[in-house]
Structure 1
């Protein structure tokens, strides 16, 4: 009888613990902004422009960021941000991205993953575009940049010319 009671108690406590683990809520972000959250994941705050209106982060790391509209930010590469950016936030990386594109030689490429070297602090940030990884200085992502609402043609041509020059210099030197 005592053994049956102990076994029943053990089963009930295991079931209660399992139910509590599966119903875990998303981490509370309180009044924190996305710029406050990113450093907690080892990422620089300037990954997103200054036009973030809201975001949601679930317990599995699913992140959805809403901007006030589409925008462009000029880093070493020109980046395009769609009004909604989604992906999964992990320590040191933002993966399965949708909504960010980088331009190289007048062609726009989807950014699949953004990551940094671990452990932080990292000197570099990496953008995975398909099977290509581009390494950029992390210092340009330490500040939050303003959005440009459009991509001017003169800026595009000048940037493409400079990137082509850099590419061939790297290729032959």
Structure 2
């Protein structure tokens, strides 16, 4: 039996042990977790590389990442893997462009393991007409990689490009 005098010390020691144990568990279970600031920096750098023509945010996709195009565009659905998304959307999109789109970021926000990118993008289609759209992408990050993404954009502009310009094979 603990004396009345020692009870506060016993309680504090138990709380300290529990806090330390929980801290160790948190570190062990989140070993690959990134901070919101780190996730934001990773995404910002990928957009900077895209603007410079030296990379793209699609390089951040984990192989098993799912990408959902929301809304009612001709490409709206969930693509279950990086390769499915690249094969069915990105490569055919790029094959319709003579000058690929370049992003202009309006904002990047990170909270927990989610990064939201709001940006404009413009390029030139193979028929010489401009393609201009505004996007909002929602990335779920794990270990510096995108594991799930949702994209919102103007479906009218996208559908027009998709119907008007055949991909250059």
TM-score, normalised relative to structure 1: 0.29
**Which of structures 1 and 2 has the larger relative contact order (alpha carbons within 8 angstroms, sep 6+)?**
2
Q: Normalization by structure 2: what TM-score?
A: 0.29
